Amino acid sequence: MQHVHIYSQEWGIYVLHKATFAGGCFWCMVTPFEEQPGIHGIVSGYMGGTVENPTYEQVLTGETGHLEVVQITFDPSIFPYEKLLELYWPQIDPTDATGQGNDRTSQYRAAILYHNEEQRLAAARSREKLDQSGRFDKPVVTAIEEASVFYPAEEYHQNFHKKDPKYYKESRVYSGRDAIIEKYWSK
């Protein structure tokens, strides 16, 4: 499944690609990527489940099989996929296959959802390098799976950190995201 968009401007043509990451609550996965050069958009949504056009309430049950994901549109000539992977890893506990922090239902598990063979290979290399780094006392188990149909989440989830910063910060603390980052990535 290839997600490439070609845009033309007066000065030339540029190609945008898609990258999709799951790492617990999608609200917390937006901010690390949003201010980077070459990032043209980030949409929170759902991927991988059995229900078409799922609602947040359906996904929240953990019974639809969807993951909460962010789908990033990026210009690889400015911000290569490998740099996205470098930003992704420090946002999660890659040794936890069942969720992230206090977010324990199945929609919160971490995964890299690749859109083409190059992304799959880059993700596998990156995961192997991280696993061999000695940073963790358990194996890196983050899944690498083929991207499937992406369903954008409801509008109130998009850029949630800007819409309700106080609740976003409280949710981030409750989820344990900052504790994960401190434990594994502050060194």
β-partners of residue 27 are: none
Among 16, 19, 22, 25, which one carries the catalytic annotation?
25
Active site residue 28: no
In DSSP notation, 80-107 reads -HHHHHHHHGGGS-TT-SS-BTTB-SGG
Contacts of 42 (CB under 8 A, 6+ apart): 30, 33, 34, 70, 71, 72, 73
User: Which backbone phi and psi does 45 adopt, to 5 degrees?
Assistant: -170, -160
Positions annotated as catalytic residues are: 25
